[in-house]
Chains A and B, each alone.
Chain A
Amino acid sequence: MTEKIPRAAIAVYLLLALALAVQVLVPDAQRQAAADAGAFLGVLVLLAILFTAGLVFQKKDARAVTDIVTVIAVILVLWEILLGKLSLLDPLLFPGPAQVFQVFVSDWQLMLYGAVGSLGIMATGYILALALAIPLGLYIGWRRRLYDVAYPIAKAVSPIPPTVYLPYAIVLLPTFAASSVFLIFIGAFWPILVGTIYGVFAVDHRIINSARTLGLSDHQMVRRILLPGAMPSIFSGAMISLIMAFISITVAEMIAATSGLGWYIEYNHQFANYDKVIAGMILIALVVIGVMFIFDRIQRHCLRWQQAE
């Protein structure tokens, strides 16, 4: 351990210690609802531990890790002091961090079920879209005549927000789960299709010629050449689809569900439990960050051949 700890990292620890000290030593503002600060203190400690782990195990990205944690720590400190301790804004609408993080302790079961339920529906619709759009896109891209018909349609339809299908989906399909799976599917389908078709077209014709000289069958051509060649573009489509899917599921749950993350926020909003609304928002953000992280890892693995070193 001869390496010097950079000054920025020390600043992060100091910020977190400051947040901790303020929480313990300074009483909450009178107007704040009484709350057990245990969860918030736990979050601060957890953040410090994660930060340390990040510094130790991600030496290459130590700078980025430090920057991100700095931003989070600054937000937490400001939130704590300005809203929690000084109550500068309406405490009902803008509760302090102690109160918000407490929700994760009291409501953890409901939140966990909500997250699992929402993710399950999303995954079903999304995987269905992948399974249908990619083969169809490869085929359309490969067959020039089909492309001339399909690509303009796909391009015109893909920017339509999938939520416009919601009223009919709810009326026509038997359960909420079925209609939201449909919604996710339809929203995710078009960007992936367009991405795949475009990707097939973007494969360099010299590479296709080289493949043709090997006398590949149509099936081999599609699987071994067009699919990997189109992969970068498929991933950009799939990324848009993923964002669409998050928006669709949240909106659908806010409108029509009886469980799930969107529902949790909407439900508590009706009862003016803004601490729970904010907790729900934080949870959604965490879920999105987690899913995006996994997506990014898969993408990096599949496109590892693209990175020139």
Chain B
Amino acid sequence: MDDSGTLLSRIAQLLHYKSIFPQLQSPNYIRAICPELPFREVTILATITLDNLSMQYGNNGSRYTALSNVNLTISEGNFISLIGPSGCGKSTIIDIVSGLKTPTTGSVLIDKEPVSGPGTDRGTVFQDYSLFPWMTAFENICFAIEHTGGSHTKTEIEKQAEEYLNLVGLKKFRNAYPNTLSGGMRQRVSIARMFSMNPKVFLMDEPFGALDSLNRIYMQDLLLNLWTEGERHKTVLFVTHDVDEALLLSDKIAVMTPSPGKIKEVIDVPFSRPRCRKSLGATAEYLTLKSHLLSVLYCEMLGEIEQQAQNFRGLA
């Protein structure tokens, strides 16, 4: 079995990545960096319900069904990952929940309110291109806070932006433009921006998909720490195609299969929090879950390859 995940964690152990990223050593990471960070007066949480979503692309001539009858409930404070091969409709779900796309049928409810368009009650991080290239890291965060609707004064906004930049370790890059930052740094700014907006729910579409493996490990731990240490956890819908990433971060994993995109199985991830990558990867339970997930994912893919091979034979 191709086990890139364990390989990665072994590399990380070899390199003692905790000494490369020293701030992650602290058990109480946020308090250690920002002792008086006001973790927002009120943390509002919400339940997301995907109610019988279907999505078809294209006009009447050539319709493509990207999603069919997707049902999923993400309860308050839960971290749920969508995992599946590319093209199975993960991004489509994120776009529908964030209000960028309207489903063909069905609806998304956030606390029983149907979603009718984009709004700052949902914070979104995409794989890249979340930030505006003409604003500095700091300006990007300020701009987002300005639009969250609360009545903030300019100094409040700037103070908050500064604190969140600090939180992701980018104090020094305050005035850097996104083009001059590395991919990992850009994603850190995007995450800082999402946290600073204090939305009801977090939506993340393969946020670490474009990063190299060490950076990805760092970002996963950062996200895990930031999320775990909030006074109350936010509700998160997280898209990935990395099994280890999903297992490390989520409470539940929804496995999707393509054409048409649908949810095949929802798996509980029972590990207690706070989680630690090192001890988690070593348990038998982890390995069992992982091989189960992989077999569900690959079973589908194998079927597809088989199908293609048969078609090919039919042609020849």
| Chain A interface (Cβ < 8 Å from any Cβ of B) | 204, 206-207, 209-216, 220, 224-225, 228-229, 231, 304-309
User: Would A210 and B130 count as touching, CB distance under 8 A?
Assistant: yes
Partner of B124, one of A204, A213, A231: A213
Which segment, of B77-85, B115-123, B209-217, faces chain A?
Answer: B115-123
| Chain B interface (Cβ < 8 Å from any Cβ of A) | 95, 98-100, 117-120, 122-124, 126, 128-135, 143-144, 147, 177-180
* List of A residues within 8 angstroms of B99 by Cβ: 212-213
* List of B residues within 8 angstroms of A206 by Cβ: 126, 128-129
Q: Considering the chains assembled together, what is the distance between the CA atoms of A228 and B133 in angstroms? A: 9
Q: Considering the chains assembled together, what is the distance between the CA atoms of A297 and B122 in angstroms? A: 40
Q: Considering the chains assembled together, what is the distance between the CA atoms of A212 and B129 in angstroms? A: 13
User: Would B119 and A210 count as touching, CB distance under 8 A?
Assistant: no
User: Would A213 and B118 count as touching, CB distance under 8 A?
Assistant: yes
User: Would B100 and A212 count as touching, CB distance under 8 A?
Assistant: yes
Partner of A214, one of B126, B133, B147, B180: B147
Chain A min CB distance to B126 (Å): 6
User: Would B118 and A215 count as touching, CB distance under 8 A?
Assistant: yes
Most buried by B among A206, A207, A309: A207
User: Would A306 and B133 count as touching, CB distance under 8 A?
Assistant: yes
Given A213-B99, A220-B147, 17 extra CB contacts under 8 A: A206-B126, A207-B133, A209-B126, A210-B130, A210-B131, A213-B100, A213-B122, A213-B123, A214-B120, A215-B117, A215-B119, A215-B147, A229-B134, A231-B134, A305-B178, A307-B179, A309-B180
User: Would A305 and B179 count as touching, CB distance under 8 A?
Assistant: yes
User: Would A304 and B177 count as touching, CB distance under 8 A?
Assistant: yes
User: Would A224 and B122 count as touching, CB distance under 8 A?
Assistant: no
Q: Considering the chains assembled together, what is the distance between the CA atoms of A178 and B131 in angstroms? A: 45
Q: Considering the chains assembled together, what is the distance between the CA atoms of A231 and B132 in angstroms? A: 13
Q: Considering the chains assembled together, what is the distance between the CA atoms of A248 and B175 in angstroms? A: 42
The list of the 10 closest CB pairs from A to B, nearest first, reads A206-B129, A228-B134, A305-B177, A308-B179, A213-B124, A305-B134, A212-B118, A214-B147, A215-B119, A210-B130
User: Would A210 and B132 count as touching, CB distance under 8 A?
Assistant: yes
Summed over the interface, the residue pairs from A and B with CB atoms below 8 Å come to a total of 60
* List of B residues within 8 angstroms of A304 by Cβ: 177
Q: Considering the chains assembled together, what is the distance between the CA atoms of A144 and B52 in angstroms? A: 32
Chain B min CB distance to A304 (Å): 7
* List of A residues within 8 angstroms of B95 by Cβ: 209
* List of A residues within 8 angstroms of B123 by Cβ: 213
Q: Which residue in chain B gives the minimum CB-CB distance to A224?
A: B143
Partner of A305, one of B124, B126, B128, B133: B133
Q: Which residue in chain B gives the minimum CB-CB distance to A302?
A: B134
Q: Considering the chains assembled together, what is the distance between the CA atoms of A231 and B119 in angstroms? A: 27
* List of B residues within 8 angstroms of A220 by Cβ: 147
User: Would B124 and A210 count as touching, CB distance under 8 A?
Assistant: yes
* List of B residues within 8 angstroms of A213 by Cβ: 98-100, 118, 120, 122-124
- Give 8 CB contacts A-B under 8 Å: A210-B126, A210-B130, A212-B118, A213-B124, A216-B147, A228-B132, A305-B179, A307-B179
Q: Considering the chains assembled together, what is the distance between the CA atoms of A52 and B122 in angstroms? A: 60
Most buried by B among A231, A305, A307, A309: A305
Q: Which residue in chain A gives the minimum CB-CB distance to B130?
A: A210
Chain A min CB distance to B137 (Å): 11
Q: Considering the chains assembled together, what is the distance between the CA atoms of A306 and B144 in angstroms? A: 21
* List of B residues within 8 angstroms of A228 by Cβ: 132, 134
* List of B residues within 8 angstroms of A225 by Cβ: 132
Q: Considering the chains assembled together, what is the distance between the CA atoms of A274 and B125 in angstroms? A: 67
* List of A residues within 8 angstroms of B180 by Cβ: 308-309
* List of A residues within 8 angstroms of B133 by Cβ: 207, 305-306
User: Would A209 and B134 count as touching, CB distance under 8 A?
Assistant: no
Q: Considering the chains assembled together, what is the distance between the CA atoms of A229 and B129 in angstroms? A: 13
* List of B residues within 8 angstroms of A308 by Cβ: 179-180
* List of B residues within 8 angstroms of A214 by Cβ: 118, 120, 143-144, 147
Most buried by A among B130, B134, B144, B180: B134
Q: Considering the chains assembled together, what is the distance between the CA atoms of A165 and B70 in angstroms? A: 62
Q: Considering the chains assembled together, what is the distance between the CA atoms of A64 and B185 in angstroms? A: 36
Chain B min CB distance to A113 (Å): 41
Chain B min CB distance to A209 (Å): 5
User: Would B132 and A207 count as touching, CB distance under 8 A?
Assistant: yes
* List of B residues within 8 angstroms of A229 by Cβ: 134
Q: Considering the chains assembled together, what is the distance between the CA atoms of A304 and B65 in angstroms? A: 43
Q: Which residue in chain B gives the minimum CB-CB distance to A227?
A: B134
Chain B min CB distance to A231 (Å): 7
Chain A min CB distance to B123 (Å): 8
Chain B min CB distance to A150 (Å): 25
Partner of A306, one of B124, B147, B179: B179
Chain A min CB distance to B95 (Å): 8
User: Would B129 and A204 count as touching, CB distance under 8 A?
Assistant: yes
Chain A min CB distance to B212 (Å): 18
Chain B min CB distance to A34 (Å): 60
User: Would B120 and A210 count as touching, CB distance under 8 A?
Assistant: no
Q: Considering the chains assembled together, what is the distance between the CA atoms of A207 and B134 in angstroms? A: 11
* List of A residues within 8 angstroms of B131 by Cβ: 210
* List of B residues within 8 angstroms of A231 by Cβ: 134
* List of B residues within 8 angstroms of A215 by Cβ: 117-120, 147
Q: Considering the chains assembled together, what is the distance between the CA atoms of A164 and B301 in angstroms? A: 66
* List of A residues within 8 angstroms of B120 by Cβ: 213-215
Q: Considering the chains assembled together, what is the distance between the CA atoms of A231 and B133 in angstroms? A: 12
Q: Which residue in chain B gives the minimum CB-CB distance to A231?
A: B134
